[in-house]
Chains A and B, each alone.
Chain A
């Protein structure tokens, strides 16, 4: 990705290149242990055009590096390799299966006079290992959500099945990676929770209970409103990757029609059902059509113990979305869908408008929503709750931040420092631009605040942050 910044009046321009994906591959050394068999180790390689021997050499380098670091600590081998031009990240999600992501370092191309080729200046410090390491881990989690583990695929259909699945998934998924806008939130991989009063929360709980009782096939349910989670019956790690999929892939694909005007051709056919606004986001697009074929995406959860494969039914009414997960062995019939539609549709529609009303009442009580004063990011490791007033609406591709990227990197640095110890800590820094950044870690929670108060001193900054904590986080004790 190229961004041009004008530099000299003479028209010679310095070109700034953001970090980008150079290659991505998956290998297992056990599949080709002997000389001459190296190609067999490679299970997936992007870009595919790379010449075979070069692929083998690149994989060989990774193996050598992992082996070398094992000399010093057998259980904790290499995580990343830094070179001048690029950075490689290593992840072993399952024993002997290695995933490697190679990112080209951001660089600046400075033009030279006299027709000499431009000099490239690489900016290695711009890439924070924890951020991109997390992105790589997430690649695996997403693959596993839709395909199960590597080992099971290999057991079911050998190398052929595994390579097929990898190819099918990663070919598309890699195109959705936007490495130039990864930041601290990728490290957290958190979930944004929708704030609710007790009454409404209980209504949602009892709705879920009722549905699960009536539709005994439903194993797990998750309830979201406005791209934020309210309730989930899934394990945390499964929910967090499902949440990412819903909010960055599924929901964005389906929002546009809803936002369209009443008479727009985009508006989905309220297929003869005037009783509710519910519809399927996965599965049957149009229940009225008896010949239309439909399919639900399959997901894999609890892969560490019970290893369940489920149909993912996502049903939406206005801003409320519910995920129903049914054992994949069950055949999803049209009757079942109709039953679900008639049961859930009206209830969910009512519930959605209830929530909306309650939310508006709450907002009116708490005062008009002014521009959030504080730019902060909050994350709770225990329930994965995440909140950011810095990131604007996350779209499928990019999440825009309202602060300079360098400040986000400073947050990343502070997060790395916090990760070194288990104790509660506080780090306050003043950047060269006179912005203050405050990081607080307390008992599994992390809070980062960015203050644009150039003339403030340390004590004043401290007071400001205390004020923020009192209003937004008054039930959490942060170090003073």
Chain B
């Protein structure tokens, strides 16, 4: 009865999801104490500008959990997570030398392993990314994190621009265009550690009765304007509703990775009142052109419900702002904000499975066209995992299992790991992926029976936990413009607060 289902034709999703936030919108991380205090040797780093000028010769610099460096093919420094990248220019020169040397032999450098660290290299076009990590994550995962960093940069500049710039001038200093955006990359790296959306390549939704969600989507569906392509409602870092333009759905789909880039940009801009109108490129959707994002909170000053409208028309601010007004009106008249506010995030205790401490559940089919938007759900953390350090430790364990179970050369169907602090289970079938964490002394019998109970509960609550439909609208695109072929490179990616 408990034999695992045959996975059938198992598909590997190569997309790299960018995460949704942990904490509230805007992220508490962005508002954290900037004194840069950090426990020595801890697994978690407190972010902040203090790290911009950290002394790279110091012990504490060496001991960071994960360094990320971005440089150009010419060896010019572009970004370093810790420490001033200018001070690191000779170290970056060495990194580039390693890359070039191996390349000269018709080969490609991938990684270096030592007892304590893993160094992973990634080259995308003219940019080189290096991660030096003490986390013992797999090479594949570290590389996918670097890919996210690349995509975040693309989201600000577009791939076409980057390639063109370096084609013309190999020595170009990309920091000129990225000035002020370090916090975007810092924010991304911080959140990647503690949010499972990344390695799961999926999006987490706010649990909501489907009738409420449909009503909200309906409101969004009605408030449209030409060239509008996506409308999102976000709350508590979870997706509440997403509505898409019809033809867009046919051409290409919005990947979770792009969504997370968007969320990160919004979170890092840390605004509360007012609106944002900013260009943003969605790299997996189309890496060479910009969308224009209108972002506003529908409930200042609490700022828990965020509206994002994406348009392909740079000049459409007023039209899009008008959509927001219509939405606000409809919300007010139906008291829709209450539905969102009344939502209860759930805990493991609510499910009634005694030994279960936490889980991640990613179904393969919730939407009619299930590949439209991979989703996952997980309960709020139990007491034992509330600290950042424990949370990251648990996610490290999940990440390791994910890596083993999805290993491209020897994938597995099931892993059951009894360890000192917890017992973990990873299970992949054609219908879902499940990662569960039990108390350490649970018996296999109990674990299996609780898992069954959990799966039943998830099935029952499916409508509420996941977005099961992606409603669409139809907005006539301006003649002569299409979302897929007009690279707009006159914008430099700076936010404009209006």
Q: Which of B16-37 contact A (CB under 8 A)?
A: none
Question: Which B residues lie within 8 Å of A84 (CB)?
Answer: 107-108, 110
Say if the beta carbon of A432 comes within 8 Å of chain B: yes
Give B477 Cβ to nearest chain A Cβ, in Å. 41
Task: Give B contacts to A, CB under 8 Å.
Answer: 1-4, 7, 62, 67, 91, 94-95, 97-98, 101-102, 106-117, 119, 132, 136, 139, 400, 404, 407-420, 443-445, 448
Q: In the complex, are the beta carbons of B419 and A421 less than 8 A apart?
A: yes
Question: Which A residues lie within 8 Å of B95 (CB)?
Answer: 68
Closest chain B residue to A428 by CB distance? Answer: B416
Question: Which A residues lie within 8 Å of B445 (CB)?
Answer: 459
Q: In the complex, are the beta carbons of A69 and B119 less than 8 A apart?
A: yes
Q: In the complex, are the beta carbons of A457 and B410 less than 8 A apart?
A: no
Q: In the complex, are the beta carbons of A427 and B416 less than 8 A apart?
A: yes
Say if the beta carbon of A456 comes within 8 Å of chain B: yes
Say if the beta carbon of A425 comes within 8 Å of chain B: yes
Question: Which A residues lie within 8 Å of B110 (CB)?
Answer: 82-84, 124
Question: Which A residues lie within 8 Å of B419 (CB)?
Answer: 421, 423, 425
Q: Which one of B2, B112, B412, B414 lies within 8 Å of A82 (CB-CB)? A: B112
Question: Which B residues lie within 8 Å of A81 (CB)?
Answer: 109, 111-113
Give A444 Cβ to nearest chain B Cβ, in Å. 16
Give B448 Cβ to nearest chain A Cβ, in Å. 6
Q: In the complex, are the beta carbons of B109 and A413 less than 8 A apart?
A: no
Question: Which B residues lie within 8 Å of A410 (CB)?
Answer: 410, 412
Assess A430 versus B107: contact at CB under 8 Å? Given A79-B115, A425-B420: no
Q: Which one of A64, A73, A430 lies within 8 Å of B98 (CB-CB)? A: A64
Q: In the complex, are the beta carbons of A125 and B409 less than 8 A apart?
A: yes
Give B181 Cβ to nearest chain A Cβ, in Å. 26
Give B105 Cβ to nearest chain A Cβ, in Å. 8
Known: A77-B114, A82-B113, A427-B418. 15 other contacts (CB 8 A): A61-B98, A65-B98, A69-B114, A72-B117, A73-B116, A78-B114, A85-B108, A417-B417, A424-B420, A425-B419, A429-B404, A429-B413, A432-B410, A457-B1, A458-B416
Residue of B1, B114, B115 with highest tally of chain A CB at under 10 A: B114
Give B239 Cβ to nearest chain A Cβ, in Å. 33
Binary contact readout A428-457 vs B (1 if CB under 8 angstroms, 0 otherwise): 111110100000000000000000000111
Say if the beta carbon of A358 comes within 8 Å of chain B: no
Q: In the complex, are the beta carbons of B115 and A413 less than 8 A apart?
A: no
Q: In the complex, are the beta carbons of B404 and A83 less than 8 A apart?
A: no
Question: Which B residues lie within 8 Å of A77 (CB)?
Answer: 114
Question: Which A residues lie within 8 Å of B407 (CB)?
Answer: 125, 413
Q: In the complex, are the beta carbons of B112 and A80 less than 8 A apart?
A: yes
Category for how many chain A residues contact B: 35 or more
Q: Which one of A423, A428, A480 lies within 8 Å of B415 (CB-CB)? A: A428
Question: Which B residues lie within 8 Å of A64 (CB)?
Answer: 94, 97-98, 101
Residue of A65, A72, A417, A428 with highest tally of chain B CB at under 10 A: A72
Say if the beta carbon of A160 comes within 8 Å of chain B: no
Question: Which B residues lie within 8 Å of A125 (CB)?
Answer: 407-410
Say if the beta carbon of A406 comes within 8 Å of chain B: yes
Say if the beta carbon of A409 comes within 8 Å of chain B: yes
The answer for the CA separation of A479 and B419 in the assembled complex, in Å, is 10
Q: Which of A109-134 contact B (CB under 8 A)?
A: 123-126, 129
Question: Which B residues lie within 8 Å of A425 (CB)?
Answer: 417-420
Assess A458 versus B414: contact at CB under 8 Å? Given A71-B91, A83-B102, A86-B107: yes
The answer for the CA separation of A87 and B119 in the assembled complex, in Å, is 14
Give B162 Cβ to nearest chain A Cβ, in Å. 24
Give A409 Cβ to nearest chain B Cβ, in Å. 6
Residue of B4, B95, B112, B117 with highest tally of chain A CB at under 10 A: B112
Give B309 Cβ to nearest chain A Cβ, in Å. 43
Say if the beta carbon of A426 comes within 8 Å of chain B: yes
Question: Which B residues lie within 8 Å of A293 (CB)?
Answer: none
Closest chain A residue to B57 by CB distance? Answer: A71
The answer for the CA separation of A410 and B62 in the assembled complex, in Å, is 33
Q: In the complex, are the beta carbons of A430 and B414 less than 8 A apart?
A: yes
Question: Which A residues lie within 8 Å of B108 (CB)?
Answer: 83-85
Closest chain B residue to A57 by CB distance? Answer: B101
Some 19 contacts from A to B, beta carbons below 8 A apart, are A61-B98, A64-B98, A68-B98, A72-B62, A76-B114, A78-B112, A79-B113, A82-B109, A82-B139, A83-B109, A410-B412, A420-B136, A424-B420, A429-B414, A429-B415, A457-B2, A458-B444, A459-B445, A459-B448
Question: Which A residues lie within 8 Å of B412 (CB)?
Answer: 410, 429-432
Task: Say whether chain A's binding surface is mostly helix, strand, loop, or mixed.
Answer: mixed
Binary contact readout A45-72 vs B (1 if CB under 8 angstroms, 0 otherwise): 0000000000001000100110111011
Assess A80 versus B113: contact at CB under 8 Å? Given A85-B107, A426-B418, A458-B414: yes
The answer for the CA separation of A431 and B407 in the assembled complex, in Å, is 11
Question: Which B residues lie within 8 Å of A123 (CB)?
Answer: 409
Say if the beta carbon of A13 comes within 8 Å of chain B: no
The answer for the CA separation of A457 and B452 in the assembled complex, in Å, is 14
Question: Which B residues lie within 8 Å of A76 (CB)?
Answer: 114-117
Say if the beta carbon of A353 comes within 8 Å of chain B: no
Say if the beta carbon of A226 comes within 8 Å of chain B: no
Question: Which B residues lie within 8 Å of A413 (CB)?
Answer: 404, 407, 410
Question: Which A residues lie within 8 Å of B444 (CB)?
Answer: 458-459, 462
Question: Which B residues lie within 8 Å of A424 (CB)?
Answer: 420
Give B83 Cβ to nearest chain A Cβ, in Å. 11
The answer for the CA separation of A410 and B411 in the assembled complex, in Å, is 9
Question: Which A residues lie within 8 Å of B448 (CB)?
Answer: 457-459
Residue of B4, B139, B414 with highest tally of chain A CB at under 10 A: B414
Q: In the complex, are the beta carbons of B409 and A79 less than 8 A apart?
A: no
Question: Which B residues lie within 8 Å of A69 (CB)?
Answer: 112, 114, 117, 119
Assess A83 versus B2: contact at CB under 8 Å? Given A69-B114, A421-B419, A431-B413: no
Closest chain A residue to B445 by CB distance? Answer: A459
Closest chain B residue to A432 by CB distance? Answer: B411
Q: Which one of A68, A86, A459, A479 lies within 8 Å of B2 (CB-CB)? A: A459
The answer for the CA separation of A246 and B94 in the assembled complex, in Å, is 46
The answer for the CA separation of A426 and B112 in the assembled complex, in Å, is 29
Question: Which B residues lie within 8 Å of A78 (CB)?
Answer: 112-114
The answer for the CA separation of A434 and B4 in the assembled complex, in Å, is 9
Assess A68 versus B94: contact at CB under 8 Å? Given A82-B110, A409-B410: yes
Give B75 Cβ to nearest chain A Cβ, in Å. 14
Q: In the complex, are the beta carbons of B112 and A65 less than 8 A apart?
A: yes
Question: Which A residues lie within 8 Å of B2 (CB)?
Answer: 457-459
Q: In the complex, are the beta carbons of A430 and B413 less than 8 A apart?
A: yes
Give B434 Cβ to nearest chain A Cβ, in Å. 13
Give B103 Cβ to nearest chain A Cβ, in Å. 10
Q: In the complex, are the beta carbons of B97 and A432 less than 8 A apart?
A: no
The answer for the CA separation of A83 and B120 in the assembled complex, in Å, is 11
Q: In the complex, are the beta carbons of B115 and A82 less than 8 A apart?
A: no
Q: Which one of B408, B410, B416 lies within 8 Å of A431 (CB-CB)? A: B410
Question: Which A residues lie within 8 Å of B1 (CB)?
Answer: 457
Closest chain A residue to B117 by CB distance? Answer: A72
Q: In the complex, are the beta carbons of A83 and B107 less than 8 A apart?
A: yes
Give B397 Cβ to nearest chain A Cβ, in Å. 10
The answer for the CA separation of A323 and B98 in the assembled complex, in Å, is 49
Give B422 Cβ to nearest chain A Cβ, in Å. 11
The answer for the CA separation of A429 and B95 in the assembled complex, in Å, is 38
Question: Which B residues lie within 8 Å of A65 (CB)?
Answer: 98, 112
Q: Which of A249-285 contact B (CB under 8 A)?
A: none
The answer for the CA separation of A387 and B390 in the assembled complex, in Å, is 39
The answer for the CA separation of A78 and B443 in the assembled complex, in Å, is 40
Which 5 pairs from chain A and chain B are nearest by CB?
A125-B409, A430-B414, A76-B115, A423-B420, A84-B108
Question: Which A residues lie within 8 Å of B102 (CB)?
Answer: 61, 83
Q: In the complex, are the beta carbons of B420 and A82 less than 8 A apart?
A: no
Question: Which A residues lie within 8 Å of B109 (CB)?
Answer: 81-83
Question: Which B residues lie within 8 Å of A431 (CB)?
Answer: 410, 412-413
Question: Which B residues lie within 8 Å of A457 (CB)?
Answer: 1-4, 448
Closest chain B residue to A480 by CB distance? Answer: B443
Q: In the complex, are the beta carbons of B416 and A126 less than 8 A apart?
A: no
